[in-house]
A and B are shown apart, each in its own frame.
Chain A
Amino acid sequence: MTESKQILLCGVGGQGIVTAGGLLGSAAFAEGRHVSGTSSYGAAARGGECRAEVVISALPVAFPFVTTADLLVALSQSAYDRYLGWTAESSGVVFYDTLLVSPAVTATQRHIGISATQSTEEVLGSRLGANIVMLAAVVEASGPVGKDSLVKVISERSPDRFRDRNLRAAKLGFSLGSQVPGDC
């Protein structure tokens, strides 16, 4: 399991968690790596808790879901509270949205606050695209996949009317991620 990276993205329905997970998985696939991605959500598409899991590995994996997350990416307080415990003690890294999540004071994992939602609102005019800003920041700071791969899949998979905005969101995310100090 040491060669694999398990990433759990979580939030509430409508934030684009499933989309972000799909982009991350596609980017890893484009790099020729073994990858599995899955999303979990209830019957209601809006407002309920949801998560996307991505497992990236050098070897094929039998069990495709996250067992212990190496990276937790949290875009809502309720999802953070629920999934913090899924994250590896001490070695795990948590990326959280500074506007929407207050981190637990007792947590042992390294916590990195990204002002994804707030910056998206300020720079792009609305919260639409905050998922991609957050994902790009994670990719810049932690490198589960290459930046080029992410940009490529965003270009390929975005609907025409959102492509420019999504690419601007990625650029914003990369710049937020580059301000994170140290390796993670």
Chain B
Amino acid sequence: MAWRTVSSTLPPGRIYLSGADAIVEGAVAARCGFFAGYPITPTTEVLERIAVRFPEEGAAFMQMEDEIASVCSCIGASWAGVKAMTVTSGPGFSLMQEGIGHAIMTEAPLVVVDGQRAGPSTGQVTVGAGDVMQARWGTHGGIPTIALAPWSVQELYDGTIRAFNLAEQYRLPVLFMAEAATTHLNEPLEIPSEVQLFERDKNPGQPPFGTESPDGVPPMPSFGEGEKLLVTASTHNSWGFRRTADPATERILTSRLFNKVMMHVSDIAEVEEYYLDDAELAVVAYGFTARSALAAVEQLRQEGQKVGLLRLKTLWPFPAEDVARIGERVKTIVVPEMNLGQLVHVVSASTRCRVVAYNQMDGTVIYPSAITESIRNACS
């Protein structure tokens, strides 16, 4: 295990920064060495800022011909030994799904920032959370990866660093599910003096695609180290040899890829609880909408209503046990989402408690008043 402490790349203290810039500074602080991307609203600001900042830090910046090339070149860079990242939004995220699958299958650490829009298709280019289920099921085959849901400029910075650490620790692509509502937000941000980074485990001569434990993460060698790597996304054994017609090899590989995430949910998935101790109704929310939910809950608390908030900082793997635990205590769960109902189905499947959806998909954020109203409706 290779945690190390490094100094921050910005002077410690408070600054006023946009969410887009916070992502960039988080990536710089995580010592990302390679970026490839393609312009798309609403994350073009991130791409533009990286074009300035990465060369200053000695990292590579490339504007590619499309999002497919962007994610694929990141995988190449990751295997060549550097931390890599790309940034996109809905349509580009769709184009990247095959590459994300390749990164899952070859266990290439990578950060994909998705500044989500509402969609669908080219429908609505700004505010929305259209890609929640795409983050889980977008690539064919259904192997899980990790998706985080930041809610503030601070968390766009801290969360980007955490995304790189999780990617390296678990050897997979981490999907950083930002939203236009937060990437276009300016807020005070606290820059710490130090950053904790996870560096790749090296173990020369060991198989790069297999472990003895059924949920393990193999060491991660790089090209150019004399390991004569055989990297393929086709079904492969622990040394990378294609064994596409061997059921046992397929079972061993896919079950380990599944287990290395799903047997570590409690280490990966993070939630925050607000006013839940005596709550009779809980809002379960994520991303920007959780801020609206918190404002709504605080207002209703002032009115004496026993309501609370469970904020999901991690979307995938889904923190099912936390939802189940809250579901035991409250009578109703309200799930507000800036889409037509995505995560609510997973919340429903995780609890026997009554679950009510509040959905809004019109290119605007959900205001606290809409959530207070939906809570009142749910109680009546």
**Distance to closest chain B CB from A8 (angstroms):** 14
B254 in the interface (beta carbon within 8 A): no
Q: Is A67 a contact of B188 with CB atoms below 8 Å?
A: no
Known: A25-B16, A26-B16, A43-B41. A62 touches B185 (CB 8 A): no
Whether B16 and A65, one on each chain, are in contact in the complex, defined by CB atoms closer than 8 angstroms, is no
22 A-B residue pairs with CB within 8 Å: A25-B186, A26-B16, A29-B16, A29-B188, A30-B16, A35-B186, A35-B187, A36-B185, A36-B186, A36-B187, A38-B185, A39-B184, A40-B126, A42-B126, A61-B295, A62-B291, A63-B368, A64-B185, A65-B365, A65-B367, A67-B368, A67-B369
Can you list the 5 inter-chain pairs with the closest CB atoms, starting with the nearest?
A29-B16, A63-B295, A37-B186, A62-B294, A62-B295
Chain A residues with Cβ below 8 Å from B365 are: 65
Residues of A whose CB lies within 8 Å of any CB of B are 22, 25-26, 29-30, 34-40, 42-43, 61-65, 67
- Kindly report which residue of chain B lies nearest to residue A64, judged by CB atoms: B185
Instruction: Report if B165 contacts A (CB, 8 A).
Output: no
The answer to the question of B298 belonging to the interface, with a C-beta cut-off of 8 Å to chain A, is yes
For residue B86, CB closer than 8 A to chain A, the reply is no
* A115→B125 CA distance, assembly (Å): 35
Chain B residues whose CB sits within 8 angstroms of the CB of A29 once the complex forms: 16, 188
Closest to A27 in B: B16
The secondary-structure label for the interface of chain B is: mixed
> Are A42 and B125 closer than 8 Å at their CB atoms?
yes
Chain A residue at minimal CB-CB distance from B19: A38
**B184 touches which one: A25, A38, A43, A62 (CB < 8 A)?**
A38
- Smallest CB gap from A39: residue in B: B184
Tell me whether B292 is interfacial, beta carbon within 8 Å: yes
Contact A43 B185 (CB under 8 A): no
- Asked, given contacts A25-B16, A63-B368, A65-B365, whether A43 binds B125 with beta carbons under 8 Å apart, the answer is yes
Q: Contact check, A40 vs B188: say whether CB atoms are below 8 A apart.
A: no
Are the CB atoms of B292 and A63 closer together than 8 Å? yes
State the Cβ distance, A88 to closest chain B Cβ, in Å: 14
- Categorize the interface residue count of chain B: 20 to 34
Question: Cβ of A40: which chain B residues have Cβ within 8 Å of it?
Answer: 126-127, 184
B294 neighbours in A (Cβ, 8 Å): 62-63
CA gap between A67 and B181 in the complex, in Å: 15
Rounded to whole Å, the gap between the CB of B372 and the closest CB of chain A is 11
Task: List B contacts of A65 (CB < 8 A).
Answer: 365, 367
Contacts of A61 in B (CB 8 A): 295
Pick from A35, A39, A64: contact of B291, CB below 8 A: A64
* Contact in complex: A35, B185 (CB < 8 Å): no
The reply to whether A62 and B16 contact each other, CB–CB distance below 8 Å, is: no
Which chain B residues in 153-190 approach chain A with CB under 8 Å? 181, 184-188
Closest to A153 in B: B16
Having A38-B184, A40-B184, one finds 18 other A-B pairs with CB under 8 Å, namely A25-B16, A26-B16, A29-B188, A34-B188, A35-B16, A35-B188, A37-B185, A38-B181, A39-B184, A40-B126, A43-B125, A62-B291, A62-B292, A62-B294, A62-B368, A63-B368, A64-B185, A67-B368
Residues of chain A within 8 A (CB-CB) of B298 are 62
Q: How far is the CA of A30 from the CA of B291 in the complex (A)?
A: 24
B46: min CB distance to chain A, Å: 15
Bound complex: CA of A74 vs CA of B127, how far in Å?
23
Residues of A within 8 A of B367 (CB): 63, 65, 67
Q: Quick check: A63 and B186 within 8 Å, CB to CB? A: no
A117 to chain B, nearest CB (A): 26
Contact B295 A38 (CB under 8 A): no
Q: Name the one of A39, A63, A64 contacting B187, with C-beta atoms under 8 angstroms.
A: A64
Q: How far is the CB of A64 from chain B (nearest CB, A)?
A: 6
